[in-house]
Amino acid sequence: MRLALLYACFVPALAVFAGPAAAQSICAAPLTPVCMEPGGVQGDDALSKQRCIEDMKGYLGQQRDYVTCLRTNLAQSETNLGHIQARLDGMKNEIIDETRANAQDAKKASD
């Protein structure tokens, strides 16, 4: 009976740790400026090149933001993994303790 109760608590406990994963940001990779592709610069004039430089600067900033987002999500995921593993280890120990207690109760009842 106690063991069944312990299992009944297991699924809701995992849901507690799964919650933070849903709060993670969705990291969207920025679109590469057309001028960075082969033959992407339209024209050899200074204005076209200047536009490409501005697009590339914007892309560089977006790429940095994207990498930061990925690193943040990775750190959150690693933290979540640690919490889940600790909880699993704790629950395994609880099951072992409960099983031992049930075995001792059964032994006492048969004596």
Give me the pLDDT at residue 22, please.
54
Residue 27 lies in a domain: no
Residuewise pLDDT in 10s, the chain (111 residues):
454 544 555 445 545 445 555 567 899 999 999 998 887 767 778 888 899 999 999 999 999 999 999 999 999 999 999 999 999 999 999 999 999 999 888 888 887
Domain assignment present for residue 94? The answer is: yes
Residue 24 phi/psi, 5-degree rounding, is -65, 150
- Of the candidates 97, 110, 109, 67, the residue with the CA atom closest to the CA atom of residue 2: 97
Cβ neighbours for 55, distance < 8 A, ≥ 6 positions apart: 33, 34, 35, 36
Residue 27 main-chain phi, psi, to 5 deg: -90, 120
* Dihedral Cα 84, 90, 94, 100, nearest 10 deg: 130
Within-domain flag for 82: yes
The answer to whether residue 102 sits within a structural domain is: yes
Domain-embedded: residue 12: yes
Residue 26 domain flag: no
Q: Assess if residue 51 is contained within a domain.
A: yes
Q: Domain residues for 90?
A: 2-16+46-110
Look at residue 23 and tell me if it is in a domain. Answer: no
Q: What is the CA radius of gyration of the chain?
A: 28
Q: What is the pTM assigned to this prediction?
A: 0.59
Task: Name the maximum alpha-carbon separation found in the chain.
Answer: 98
Q: How many domains does the chain have?
A: 1
